[in-house]
């Protein structure tokens, strides 16, 4: 064994000498994986767009376990990657611990607030975007019942739900909104089968438009909605293409822009808050050739009007996370 140790040690020294420090940006994807067709994939798209436009290189890792969060942060920061972007609120504890140890590294956390001098916290006004798709849902619904399927039961998702319900009621005061959460563990982000079951349950309650804010679980929601002949609304990425003509619209949360901006700013990314809302196209609803047949011009006009009103401050969308209650 000792001989083996020596050999391994020797090999190790050689490799270590060869690795230089680099100032490339880095991104850490959460457990859902970078091809979740939703949140992480949106982050991936942003990183790829930056790579394409600048020809630069970036480091990445898809986490396999919780214990790797701190390890990945330290590994990237330790080798000089800057900035280090992480997609997901689950990084809060790890980042709080790591950030002070690498004062020269800029960290960007998406969907969560971590208060440190070298951390940029990017948060989205999901309630504003959800309000708009809630309006769209109520206007295009024939039964007057619209559904909401959330991922893990956390305040962030309640924020989506609350905005959605407000929008639906604004468009049709008699609208009924049925809500379900997929689960209370992180597995709820990646359970398309249960997403499909919940969709069927909501259909039986009369829903004919469902909005999925559930990461990978949403794939099952959209699929079932398409199979059952009702409309669905995608989330985070533009998911209209997944079932052309059957996805009403997608509540886009431009995580890709957040990543792209952070990568572009490089080491100069400004620490502090970065709120992305309707005013700076951080959130919105998707219109493209895939939903042209289902999203009517009247609806679009109404949505644009509401959007302008929200930006101007004439419509105040209640934020669930401000007081943990929803007026609906």
Partner 1 sequence: MDTMPKWADIVLIPLINLLIAFFLSGLVIWAIGKDPFEAIRTMVAGAFGSTDGVGYTLYYTTNFIFTGLAVAVASRAALFNIGGEGQVMLGGLGLTLLLLTVDFPHWAIALPVAVITSAAFGAGWAFVPAYLAAKRGSHIVVTTIMFNFIAFSLLGYMLVSSWIKKPGGVPESLDFAETVHLPNFHDILAPLGIEFSKHAPANISFFIAVACCVLFFVVMWHTQLGTAIRQFGKSEGAAIYAGVSPVKITIIAMMISGGLAGLMAVNATMGEAERLILGFSEGAGFIGIAVALMGRNHPFGIFLAAVLFGFLYQGGSELSLWMGIPRELVIVIQALVILLTGALDNMVRMPVERLFLHFRKGAN
Q: Which of 31/310 has CB closer to partner 1?
A: 31
For residue 120, the minimal CB distance to partner 1 (Å) is 19
For residue 68, the minimal CB distance to partner 1 (Å) is 6
Q: Does 24 contact partner 1 by CB under 8 A?
A: no
Q: Does 6 contact partner 1 by CB under 8 A?
A: no
Q: Does 105 contact partner 1 by CB under 8 A?
A: no
For residue 90, the minimal CB distance to partner 1 (Å) is 5
| Full 3-state SS string of the chain | CHHHHHHHHHHHHHHHHHCCCCCCCEEEECCCCCCCCCHHHHHHHHHHHHHHHHCCCCEEEECCCCCHHHHHHHHHHHCCCCCEEEECHHHHHHHHHHHHHCCCCCEEEECCCCCCCCEEEEEECHHHHHHHHHHHHHHHCCCCEEEEEEEECCHHHHHHHHHHHHHHHHHCCCCEEEEEEEECCHHHHHCHHHHHHHHHHHHHCCCCEEEEECCCHHHHHHHHHHHHCCEEEEEECCCHHHCCCCEEEEEEECHHHHHHHHHHHHHHCCCEEEEECCCCCCEEECCCCCCCCCCCHHHHHHHHHHHHHHHHCCCCCCCHHHHCCCCC
Which residue has tokens 């019942």?
Answer: 145
Reduced to 3 states (helix: H, G, I; strand: E, B; else coil), residue 289 is coil
For residue 229, the minimal CB distance to partner 1 (Å) is 35
Q: Does 315 contact partner 1 by CB under 8 A?
A: no
For residue 198, the minimal CB distance to partner 1 (Å) is 18
Of 7-15, 120-128, 223-231, 297-305, the window that binds partner 1 (rule: CB under 8 A) is 7-15
> Interaction with partner 1 in 38-77: which residues (CB under 8 A)?
59-68, 70-72, 74-76
For residue 168, the minimal CB distance to partner 1 (Å) is 24
Q: Which of 72/203 has CB closer to partner 1?
A: 72
The interface mask with partner 1, positions 147-186, x = CB under 8 A, is -----xxxxx---------------------------xxx
Q: Does 326 contact partner 1 by CB under 8 A?
A: no
For residue 22, the minimal CB distance to partner 1 (Å) is 10
Cβ proximity of 97 and 118 under 8 Å: no
Q: Which of 11/270 has CB closer to partner 1?
A: 11
Contacts of 241 (CB under 8 A, 6+ apart): 288, 290
Q: Does 116 contact partner 1 by CB under 8 A?
A: no
C-alpha 48, offset from chain centre: 16
Q: Does 115 contact partner 1 by CB under 8 A?
A: no
Q: Does 89 contact partner 1 by CB under 8 A?
A: yes
Indicate which single residue of 16, 20, 173, 297 sits in contact with partner 1 (rule: CB under 8 A).
Answer: 16
Q: Which of 19/204 has CB closer to partner 1?
A: 19
Q: Which of 74/318 has CB closer to partner 1?
A: 74
Q: Which of 30/140 has CB closer to partner 1?
A: 30
Distances (CA, A) of 252 to 2, 7, 68, 127, 256: 57, 53, 29, 12, 10
Q: Which of 244, 264, 216, 269 is nearest to 42 (CA)?
A: 216
Q: Does 325 contact partner 1 by CB under 8 A?
A: no
For residue 281, the minimal CB distance to partner 1 (Å) is 25
- Binding residues for partner 1, rule: CB under 8 A, are 1, 5, 8-9, 11-16, 19, 33, 59-68, 70-72, 74-76, 78, 89-90, 92-93, 101, 152-156, 184-186
């Amino acid at each position: 064994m000792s001989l083996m140790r020596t050999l391994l040690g020797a090999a190790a020294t050689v490799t270590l000498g060869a690795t230089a420090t680099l100032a490339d940006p880095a991104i850490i994807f959460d457990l859902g994986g970078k091809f979740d067709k939703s949140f992480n994939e949106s982050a991936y798209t942003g990183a790829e767009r930056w790579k394409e436009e600048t020809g630069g290189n970036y480091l990445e890792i898809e986490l396999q376990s919780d214990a790797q969060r701190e390890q990945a942060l330290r590994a990237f920061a330790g080798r000089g990657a800057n900035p280090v972007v992480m997609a997901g609120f689950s990084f809060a504890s790890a980042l709080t611990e790591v950030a002070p140890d690498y004062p020269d590294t800029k960290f960007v956390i998406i969907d969560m607030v971590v208060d440190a001098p070298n951390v940029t916290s990017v948060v989205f006004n999901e309630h504003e975007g959800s309000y708009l798709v809630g309006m769209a849902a109520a206007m295009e619904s024939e039964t007057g019942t619209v559904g909401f399927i959330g991922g893990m039961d956390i305040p962030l998702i309640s924020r989506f739900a609350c905005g959605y319900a407000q929008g639906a009621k604004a468009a049709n005061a008699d609208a009924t909104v049925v809500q379900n959460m997929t689960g209370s563990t992180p597995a709820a982000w990646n359970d398309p089968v249960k997403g499909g079951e919940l969709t069927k349950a909501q259909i039986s309650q009369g829903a004919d438009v469902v909005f999925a804010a559930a990461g990978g679980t949403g794939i099952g929601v959209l699929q079932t909605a398409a199979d059952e002949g009702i409309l669905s609304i995608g989330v985070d990425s533009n998911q209209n293409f997944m079932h052309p003509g059957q996805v009403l619209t997608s509540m886009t949360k431009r995580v890709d822009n957040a990543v792209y901006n952070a990568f572009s700013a490089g080491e100069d990314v400004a620490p502090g808050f970065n709120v992305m809302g309707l005013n700076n196209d951080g959130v919105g609803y998707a219109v493209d050739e895939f939903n042209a047949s289902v999203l009517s011009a009247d609806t679009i006009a109404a949505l644009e009007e509401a959007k302008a009103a929200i930006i101007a401050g004439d419509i105040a969308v209640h934020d669930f996370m401000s007081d943990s209650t929803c007026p609906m």
